[in-house]
Amino acid sequence: MTDLFPENTFTDADELRTFILAGNAKFTVRSEVTLRHFTYKARKPSDGQTTFIHRLAFGGTYVYLGTIFPNGEFTSTRKTLPSERIGEAFVAFDWLWRWLTEKGRMPLKVTIWHEGRCGMCGRDLTDPVSVKAGYGPECRRIMLRHGMMYDR
Ligand SMILES: [Zn+2]
Q: Report the separation in Å between the CA atom of 83 and the middle of ligand 1, taken as the mean of its atom positions.
A: 33
CA of 81 to the centre of ligand 1 (A): 31
Instruction: Find out whether 27 and 112 touch, Cβ atoms under 8 Å.
Output: yes
Q: Is the pTM of this model over 0.85?
A: yes
Distance of CA 93 to the CA centre of its chain: 9
Work out the widest C-alpha separation in the chain, in whole angstroms: 41
pLDDT at residue 46 in the model = 85
Amino acid occupying residue 81: L
Please check whether residue 70 is in contact with residue 148, taking contact to mean a CB–CB distance below 8 angstroms. Answer: no
CB of 78 within 8 A of CB of 86?
no
- Going residue by residue through the chain, which has 152 residues, state the pLDDT in tens, using 9 for 90 and above: 444 567 889 999 999 999 999 999 999 999 999 999 999 999 999 888 999 999 999 999 999 999 999 999 999 999 999 999 999 999 999 999 999 999 999 999 999 999 999 999 999 999 999 999 999 999 999 988 887 765 55
- Three-class secondary structure of residue 117 per DSSP: strand
Interval between CA 124 and ligand 1 midpoint (Å) = 8
Q: Output the CA 82–ligand 1 centroid distance in Å.
A: 34
